[in-house]
Structures are given as structure tokens and as C-alpha cells.
Amino acid sequence: MKKILFGLLFALLLAQPAQALSAHSAIVLDCASGDVLFAHNADEILPMASTTKIMTALVALDYGDLDRTYTVKKEYTLVEGSSMYLREGETISMRDTLYGLMLMSGNDAALAVAGECGGQQAFVQAMNDKAAALGLMNTHFDNPNGLDSENHHTTAHELATLAAYAMQNPDFRQIVSTASYTMEGRTMVNHNKLLKRYPDAIGIKTGYTKKSGRCLVSAAERNGRQLVAVTLNDPDDWDDHIAMLDDAFSQFQEYTLHEAGQQIGSAPCEGGDITVLPYQAESDIKISLTPAEYEALETSITGAKFIYAPAAKGQTYGTITYTLHGKPLAQDHLTFTQSAAMLPEKLEWWEILLQKIASLLDGLRGIL
């Protein structure tokens, strides 16, 4: 009996992802559904170091016009820690600054972004306002760079929620997925080693202070599913994120929802030489889902209740949408598989009589 219990305990330990043994706090979140795929102390309030800059970049992006330029002030350069090496008096674009912020984790870049987007105090307030708007009730910012401060904190869960939201912004996603970036006078290499170590990695941000320990927010995409992983105070974050993401992706399998040319349904046809017009899918739709998600998947078809002839083969009928918990996951066009010609107009009896009389008169004129 003891051997059986020991075996079961050993199996359970093996089933637990290795990251739980290294990270003080960790989570893996599915970006599409918001489902938590793994969590370990995920709601504990902790410092976040330079992962702060995810919010810094988002608030800057809200200001728009990334190609506007500014002149670097001395105060931006007088900050400790990691730097993109801004020089007092140089002219630089906000876009280049954001690359320095996210790739080089520039604390000088963070001060420059805040200073040029409303000023330090107003910018930090905007960061906190955005956190509140996103429902991040245990997240608070004292500065735009993530240096240790008494009231500067978040949770792994809320940081993952923020990261999943941020990855919806195409400019943000482009920046954090860039391995290296060259601008006038400098080349910046992304500190995020997962971009090279993990084939599916697409971002996002590293962080470290003595108080916070090593912090990492990563995003990865495989078979159309995007996941975000977060570890706070994790001495083995690179390996832990690889293990976390692999374990999370293994929970999904690819389903073929429909194939190109597959008949999906039909619509009644009025006034045509056929009474029903079949329609088919335009493209293959394949998506990675958990078995539970596949069972919960809902399908809706948008199109006219009746089709009036004429209609041509290949003509678009409408769309088919696959939805999970109210969120659209995939959509495809539906096209007719055949044509419908318009029937000749049906005449009343007296119209038919008039046609016959006219035809008879035409015949008589030909004889006369």
C-alpha cells in the first residue's frame, strides 16, 4: 500500500510543471479566452521591476504619432539602472524611444516617454487610470520605469491580463517581438532571450531589481493560439517559461472546423429555376482548442433568409462564425455552389390572350 501511495505521489509531482519550484509567483493565461491554464501564487501582490514598462508603452501609444520627435533633456539621462543611452540635446522620435524602452529596458527611455507625454506626474496617473479601467485592482505604479518603490506593485495574474491586452495593439506587438533594432547612432538588442530560445515566442518584457528578483512576461503563439506567461521573483525564469508554455500548449489540440468547399447549408431561392441554393465554405478553418472548448464552441451563420434570383455560382451568401464564450475565434465566407436563373415572368390569362391576338395579327399582316 505504501508503494502505491508513493507511486501516486511521485506521479503527481511529475505532473506539476517545474516552474512552480522556481518562481515565487507564476501564471499562464490564454489570450483569446482569458482562461488560466496554470497558476502558482498568481494573486500575491509583488514588485514587478521593469515589466512596468508594458504599461508605460501602452500609455505612450495612446498619445499616438510615434514619429514625432523631441529633444532629450538632461533630466531624462540622470537615472540609475538599464539604459538606452540617451544623450542630452539629441533629437529622437517617440518610436525609437519605445524600442529603447522595451528592447533595452531603458530607464532613461521611460523618463523621456513620460516627460514627453504629459509630464512625469500626469503620465504615472494615466498609468494608474488605465490599470483601473482594465480592472487591475491590485496594480499600482509610482513611476514609469519599475525602480523599487513602496507602492509600486502588481500580481502575476493582473500582469498577464495587462500583457494579453497589450498584445492586441499592433504597434506594441511589433516592438516587443523585434530581436534587434537599428536607429541612427545605435543598435539595440532585445534583452528577452526567449525570442531566440523559444521558436513560438513573440515577446514581451524582462525585469530585475534586488527587491523584486528576476521578473519575466512572455508571449508565444502556436497553431493560432496566443498565450501569455508571467513569473515574478524567479531565478530560473527562461527555463521555467519554456516549461510553462510547452505544458500549456500541450493542453490544446488542432480541430478542423470545416474545409474549403464543404457544404455548410442552403437558402430558399425565390423566382429562380431552383427552389434551394446550397452554399459552401470558402476556406479551411483549423484552430487549436482544448476538448472542453471544442464542446463549448458555438456556430452562427449570417446571411439573407431568402435569395432572389438571379444568383451566380461563387457569389457570396454570408459568413460563418465560430464563437467561444461570446468571443469570435474564427470566421469564413460562404459562397453559392451553383447558379439560379430567373424564371420567365408568369402572365395572367388575359395577357396570354393578348399575346396570341398580337401574334395572329402579325401573321395576317404578313399574308396581306
Q: Which residues carry out catalysis? A: 50, 53, 105
d(CA 365, CA 357): 12
Identify the sign of the CA torsion 195, 198, 199, 205.
Answer: negative
Q: Report the candidate in 111, 62, 77, 82 with the shortest Cα–Cα distance to residue 190.
A: 82
The one-letter amino acid code at 96 reads: D
Kindly list the distances between the CA atom of residue 37 and the CA atoms of 13, 28, 33, 168, 252, in Å, as whole numbers in the listed order. Answer: 17, 5, 10, 20, 11
Other Cβ atoms closer than 10 A to 153: 20
Q: Which of 264, 204, 268 is nearest to 230 (CA)?
A: 204
SS3 109: helix
Phi, psi of 275 (to 5 degrees): -95, -15
Across the strands, what pairs with 311?
A: 340
Q: Using CA atoms, how far apart are residues 52 and 109, in angstroms rounded to an integer? A: 13
Q: How far is CA 32 from the centre of its chain?
A: 7
**312, 335 contact by CB (below 8 A):** no
What gap in Å lies between CA 43 and CA 155, rounded to an integer?
5
Task: Map grid coordinates 395576317 to a residue.
Answer: 364
Cβ distance 281 to 320 under 8 Å?
A: yes
Contact in structure between 53 and 275 (CB atoms under 8 Å): no
Determine which helix (DSSP H) or strand (DSSP E) holds 122, and give its type and residue range.
helix 120-133
